[in-house]
Each structure stands twice: as C-alpha cells, then as structure tokens.
C-alpha cells in the first residue's frame, strides 16, 4: 500500500469520530467520493487528503451556528466502504 493510501486509511478512521456542521458533512462527503474514485491513482489522493484534513479543522462552532453532528448515514457508509477497500487483501 502506498503512503497516500495509508494516510487515507488513517484519515477515514479519524473522520468517523469528527463532529461538524451538516454543511461541512456535505463537503466532506463529496471529497470522500472523489477519494474513492482515485484509489487506483494514489498521486491524485494527495490534494484530496489535504482538502479533507482542512474540511474538518473548523470543528468549533459559534453560538447560534448550525449544530455539530456526527457523520450522517451516507458519509458513514462511504467511510466504511473506504476502510474496507483500503484494509482488504494486499495485491
């Protein structure tokens, strides 16, 4: 497994514990879709990894802002699929 794929596996297991606003989950979900489509091109994952990390950095909300919530079911499903794909048999 390449470093980018190892880093993605580490990140998706961390993302499962994140609590962010629903708007952030939409962005993160889109980035996870792109990451899943790029599994065969690890070089393309580097910029996505950086974007994913940045998407979760603003996990503190202001009073009156949207609530922070755990991953919604579609994001949780994508995270599980990525963990399965990245943890599967080595080729």
Where does residue 7 rank: exposed (0-12), middle (13-18), buried (19+ CB within 10 A)? middle
What is the domain range of residue 40? 3-87
Express each pLDDT in 4-13 by its tens digit: 999 999 999 9
Q: State how many domains the chain has.
A: 1
Q: Which of 73, 75, 64 is nearest to 26 (CA)?
A: 75
* Rounded Cα–Cα distance for residues 33 and 58 (Å): 21
pLDDT at residue 58 is higher than 80? no
pLDDT of residue 66: 75
Residue 55: band (very low, low, confident or very high) from pLDDT cuts 50, 70, 90: confident
């Amino acid at each position: 497994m390449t470093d980018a794929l190892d880093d993605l596996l580490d990140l998706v297991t961390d993302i499962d514990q994140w609590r962010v606003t629903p708007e952030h989950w939409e962005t993160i979900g889109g980035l996870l879709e792109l990451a899943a489509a790029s599994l065969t091109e690890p070089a393309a994952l580097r910029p996505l990894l950086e974007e994913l990390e940045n998407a979760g950095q603003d996990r503190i909300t202001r009073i009156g802002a949207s609530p922070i919530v755990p991953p919604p079911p579609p994001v949780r499903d994508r995270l599980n699929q990525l963990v399965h794909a990245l943890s599967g048999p080595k080729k």
